[in-house]
Structure 1
Amino acid sequence: MSTTDRLDVYYDPYDYTIDADPYPVWKRLRDEAPLYHNPDVGFYALSRYDDVLAGLLDQDTFVSSHGITLEMIGDDPIGIPMMIMMDPPEHTTLRKLVSRSFTPRAIGALEPRIREICAGLLDPLADADEFDYVVDYAGMIPPTVILALVGFPAGFAAEFRTTVDSSMHYEEGDQPASLRSRRTERYADVITEVGSGVFELLPELMKQRRLDPQDDLISDLVHAEIDDDDGTKRRLTDDEIVGFVQLLATAGSETVVRLLGFAGVELARNPDQRALLVADPSLIPNAVEETLRYEAPSPIQGRWVARDIELHGTVVPRGSKMALLNGSADRDERHFPDPDRFDVRRNIDRHLAFGYGTHFCIGSALARIEGRIALEETLARFPDWAVDEDRIQRIHTTTVRGYTNVPITPTR
């Protein structure tokens, strides 16, 4: 069977029970319905590694400008000036510009500051009998780093974290029809949603940086020039700058928080793997990659189908919604031997946690260095810990999977 409308193999990304552990369902999809169709929720899905990779690379068929989550995708372009929801050539032009601030060299220069942030969060917890690895530590690292990178005051990190979480959450029983307008408004109005908080400072900050540039991302963006469609050069509009900062605030923050939450849990569940990292910290970068593969923070990439395409013997019609299940692809035994084993020494040639192709995560280098340093600082202070599995709490969104609470008890 290559595709199915039958409910004997059932997948619904909005189902809390499935979302808590989608891997058994995803395995059945890979084996029994590599092209899956859910007519009730209204989407198709590809789950095998080779199919997902091909889908991510085929930007002419699977487009992003109509929305990137199933509830947002519609027949018309979404009209939100965020790079992640643009297609070439607009996407190419903007990405080329902002990527200058995300080269490995530029991100590497942030290492001392990131390490200082991690140490500052962990040191007060040195004698704690218990703390929450996400709330007290992982959840605060990305917003603090991003605020510093952009040029915002550091004191807004907690509010920043709360706003990003609330803007993505969905309630059990929500479906695309009820979520579409609400989610579109949330993506478009993150600044309004924060109210008097950090994003309200952005217009004034842009104005200041135009007059007095500093060594931060906003200064780079307001003074950068791009080639327009007619060959002339122009500056980024305020909407384009705001859209990119919103993208950085959400995607850049969520990926690392969920990565570290998963790492905290999986290293407790696999103490032999944690012991390897304590004995040989040079394995930590690969442990970051294995965590990303094993538990992709953003496991579903939504696309609008721009033309009829035949997949596994079935024609997917133009206008359909397609879910590219990169989280499933990274557990595909056709590509990764023994994929359900967490192995920090695994030889990983290419996982899809950051996507691939045109929309490969522009902040991947930043996420990797934050993840590496955060784990280095954790393991240097706490070589052993237990997780209270009964009190772990998840966040449920259509863009990311992960934990909001991971209570841990260090072993001394």
Structure 2
Amino acid sequence: MTDTKLVFDPFSREFFDDPYDTYARMRDEAPVYYSEEYDFYALSRHADVAAAYRDFETYSSAYGIDLATVREGKIPPHKSLIVLDPPEHRHMRRLVSKVFTPRAIAELRPMAEEQIDRFLGQVDARNFDLVQDFSALFPIEIISQMLGVPTESRTEVRLWTDELLYREVGQMEMSEKGFNAVVELTRFYYGLAADRRKNPQDDMITRLVQAEIEREDDEPPTLSNMEIAMFASLLGGAGAETVAKLIGGAMVTFARFPDQWKKLQAERDRIPDAVEELLRYESPNQYNVRYSLKEVTLHGVTIPAGKPVFLMLGSANRDPDVFPDPDVLDVDRDRMGAPSLAFGLGIHSCLGASLARMESAIALERLLDFMPEYEVDFGKCTRVAMQNVGGWHNVPVSVAAR
């Protein structure tokens, strides 16, 4: 216990730069934290966060996943998979999961390798920005190619996604530029879906246009252009941001734990374990927000119905009750116990997790060859300021001559 007041502000510079000391205090002092300033609650312990992810009858996704949306207490008219509760969620997930089968992901591997090799081949072999010159670029190319986004539109799609997630310090609501980015992104994917109805191609948008879905109402059994646009926006953003932030931060983390980088050099078969440990150590998705449908009491604190509740993935993955020495990166960590929550849990576990894992493993393997010895210019590293997402915006590195 410290003498300073515990404050968790998800829009503060302190949070964007390093939330982990705050997380530790929340777990110890206020496992059910209440924010007087923003009128929300937050769960920070692994057991509570995991239970909340499974309990959609108490913690609803249907009102949004960020504070500004959830606090309105209204179900958005245009629904995406991530903001659905059962039974609607079950029907939609059953449909879209057909394009994320192990076979479908395996078939994407050559394309993913090609894009990763292309972007890594374009960087300065001695000095480059790991994020801006590499990790921010290849994931959106992969997911965009998978969706069917034309090559000339992919940079624009990435910039729109960055803008809608960006937050100034102290900014809770989406900015006008962010709102315009949402409109443009939705309009773009809506138009792409409409085009694929007339001109089908070998891509995910076409498969979603042609698929049929079970409904609870009298709506047509096919997805509307708006439903496809919402799903594509979600997948394009989440699929790109997760890998971009994971790989961008990986080399910062390995610079702090160089013994683990050396271990991977000698034992390449440990790369999948390294991906899992990186996801746990600094989760790209730091939190999701739910809406309490009914009153619930935890640790002596009552959360009323109708309140935003933060599910703190980033904190849960550093919980010492689940992960011994949680602030240490250890690729040999025993993974037979409670799971990392980096990709969520239950019905809202990340649909594209296997694709993100595959991309990240390929990128790490290539970086092991490209920069077996390197240095990070920590003084020039900068963090992102985004809702839900944590990670690095700039990571300048210098590669030792071989």
The reply to whether residue 63 of structure 1 matches residue 63 of structure 2 is: no
Sort the Cα spacing of 1:167 and 1:220 in 2 relative to 1 into closer, same or farther, 3 A: same
> CA shift at 1:203, angstroms?
4.2
Contact 2:16/2:383, CA 8 A, preserved across alignment: no
Q: Unpaired runs of 5+ in structure 2?
A: none
Q: TM-score, normalised by structure 1?
A: 0.91
Which residue of the partner structure matches residue 225 of structure 1? Answer: 212
Which residue of the partner structure matches residue 376 of structure 1? Answer: 365
- Of residues 367, 380, 383 in structure 1, which corresponds to 2:356? 367
5 Å matches for 1:168-317? 168-174=165-171, 176=172, 179=173, 182=175, 186=178, 190=181, 192-193=183-184, 201-230=188-217, 234-317=221-304
Sort the Cα spacing of 1:301 and 1:276 in 2 relative to 1 into closer, same or farther, 3 A: same
The reply to whether residue 167 of structure 1 matches residue 159 of structure 2 is: no
> CA shift at 1:205, angstroms?
3.4
CA distance in 1, matches of 2:35, 2:41: 6
CA distance in 1, matches of 2:190, 2:347: 29
- Of residues 13, 16, 33 in structure 1, which corresponds to 2:10? 13
Per the alignment, in what secondary structure is the counterpart of residue 115 of structure 1? helix
Per the alignment, in what secondary structure is the counterpart of residue 121 of structure 2? helix
- Of residues 92, 95, 98 in structure 2, which corresponds to 1:97? 95
Which residue of the partner structure matches residue 106 of structure 1? Answer: 104
CA distance in 1, matches of 2:12, 2:105: 37
> CA shift at 1:80, angstroms?
3.1
Which residue of the partner structure matches residue 155 of structure 1? Answer: 152
Per the alignment, in what secondary structure is the counterpart of residue 351 of structure 1? coil
- Of residues 363, 384, 400 in structure 1, which corresponds to 2:389? 400
Which AA in structure 2 matches 1:116?
E
Per the alignment, in what secondary structure is the counterpart of residue 226 of structure 1? coil
Which residue of the partner structure matches residue 78 of structure 1? Answer: 76
- Provide the aligned length of Structure 1 versus Structure 2: 397
CA distance in 2, matches of 1:171, 1:306: 30
The reply to whether residue 115 of structure 1 matches residue 113 of structure 2 is: yes
CA distance in 2, matches of 1:278, 1:88: 45
Which AA in structure 2 matches 1:304?
Y
CA distance in 2, matches of 1:123, 1:368: 21
Contact 2:246/2:278, CA 8 A, preserved across alignment: yes
CA distance in 2, matches of 1:263, 1:152: 28
> CA shift at 1:200, angstroms?
5.3
CA distance in 1, matches of 2:122, 2:226: 40
CA distance in 1, matches of 2:15, 2:329: 21
Contact 2:43/2:312, CA 8 A, preserved across alignment: yes
CA distance in 2, matches of 1:145, 1:54: 33
Contact 1:290/1:348, CA 8 A, preserved across alignment: no
CA distance in 2, matches of 1:18, 1:238: 37
Contact 2:88/2:215, CA 8 A, preserved across alignment: no
Q: Cα deviations across residues 22-55 of structure 1 (Å, max 9, x unaligned)?
A: 1111111111111111111211111111000001
Q: Unpaired runs of 5+ in structure 1?
A: none
> CA shift at 1:130, angstroms?
0.5
Contact 2:160/2:182, CA 8 A, preserved across alignment: no
Identity of aligned residues (%): 40
Deviating more after overlay: 223-232 vs 369-378: 223-232
Contact 2:381/2:394, CA 8 A, preserved across alignment: yes
Q: Cα deviations across residues 195-254 of structure 1 (Å, max 9, x unaligned)?
A: xxxx65544533443244322101110000011215886110111100000101111111
Per the alignment, in what secondary structure is the counterpart of residue 404 of structure 1? strand
Contact 1:289/1:348, CA 8 A, preserved across alignment: no
Q: TM-score, normalised by structure 2?
A: 0.94
CA distance in 2, matches of 1:159, 1:231: 37
Which AA in structure 1 matches 2:334?
N
Which AA in structure 1 matches 2:158?
R
Which AA in structure 2 matches 1:269?
R
RMSD: 2.0
CA distance in 2, matches of 1:337, 1:192: 45
Contact 1:140/1:157, CA 8 A, preserved across alignment: no
